[in-house]
Amino acid sequence: MDTQQSSPYPQPVFVRLDYERLTQDEQVARSRAFLKVMQRRRTVRHFASQPVPPLELITNAIATANTAPSGAHQQPWRFVVVRDQAVKHQIREAAEIEERENYDRRFPDEWKLALARLGTDWHKDFLDEAPYLIVVLQIDYGLEPGPEPGPTERHIKHYYVKESVGIAVGLLIASLHQAGLATVTHTPNPMGFLSRILGRPRNEKPFLLLPVGYPAENCLVPDLKRKTVEEIMEIV
Ligand code: IYR
């Protein structure tokens, strides 16, 4: 029997890989240059409100995030760019309510101890100050419209949603950084208020909030050191 004919699944379609083989010297040069750029990335919590970076930098970074591998190529992500001052302020007010609760009541001492060297607290001025807030949402399941709205809609299961969105956010941050922009990965949990303020559909869940902009003048960052590659890498 011809199994290909009888498969209940669609046949895959293949195209030739677009790939350019580099010389080893070129590989090493590019690899070192990228490392050098990325080693200068720092999480920034103080932004200049002006100038506003060109929107194309944000669009290109989101297009770069969209190149991430994802479970079954379902690309279970959505990026909402907030640049409206009033909406940013609404987000700040709602985030600070949650963060105040977190720092005052919800975080155990152990967590506050771990955070101490970052110098963070419930105040989130950066949500007003950063010219852009990128709200990253995970799409937990696809929604295919049925013949009529409501219960006839079909749910399509998505796979490895958190892993896929996490990888996409890594690429997003790398793109913004190499374009000369600063970010902070902010998760003012619980983040349901973002769905409400931004009117997101029920299959989208906030994953994180990424304020983006130029660092404030004389911006300070915590004096942190990274682990060395020897500490994190093992060769077997
Ligand atoms: N989301 C809180 C607390 C916080 C938690 C972790 I883990 C951090 O690495 C940094 C902060 C806040 O943004 O303050």
Report the distance separating Cα 135 and Cα 193, nearest Å.
12
Q: Within 13 Å and on the Cβ side, how many CA atoms surround 46?
A: 10
Please give the number of the atom of ligand 1 that sits closest to the Cα of 114. Answer: 7
Specify the residue with its C-alpha closest to ligand 1, atom 8.
115
Ligand 1 centroid to Cα of residue 115, in Å, is 7
The pair of three-digit structure tokens given for residue 15, joined into one six-digit string: 């195209």
Tell me, what's the pLDDT at 221?
A: 98
Torsion of CA 79, 82, 83, 88, to 10 degrees: -150
For the Cβ of 187 lying below 6 angstroms from any atom of ligand 1, the answer is yes
Specify the residue with its C-alpha closest to ligand 1, atom 5.
115
Tell me, what's the pLDDT at 186?
A: 97
Report the distance separating Cα 160 and Cα 187, nearest Å.
20
Q: How far is CA 13 from CA 10, 118, 178, in A?
A: 9, 49, 35
Asked whether 50 and 164 are in contact (CB, 8 A), the reply is no
The pair of three-digit structure tokens given for residue 222, joined into one six-digit string: 């915590």
Specify the residue with its C-alpha closest to ligand 1, atom 7.
115
Asked whether 213 and 127 are in contact (CB, 8 A), the reply is no
For the Cβ of 204 lying below 6 angstroms from any atom of ligand 1, the answer is no
Ligand 1 centroid to Cα of residue 211, in Å, is 14
Strands 47-48, 204-215: pairing kind: antiparallel
What is residue 94's three-state secondary structure? helix
Asked whether 213 and 182 are in contact (CB, 8 A), the reply is yes
pLDDT tens for the chain, 236 residues long, are 555 568 999 999 999 999 999 999 999 999 999 999 999 999 999 999 999 999 999 999 999 999 999 999 999 999 999 999 999 999 999 999 999 999 999 999 999 999 999 999 999 999 999 999 999 999 999 998 888 767 788 999 999 999 999 999 999 999 999 999 999 999 999 999 999 999 999 999 999 999 999 999 999 999 999 999 999 999 99
Ligand 1 centroid to Cα of residue 209, in Å, is 12
For the Cβ of 113 lying below 6 angstroms from any atom of ligand 1, the answer is no
Asked whether 159 and 69 are in contact (CB, 8 A), the reply is no
pTM of the model: 0.95
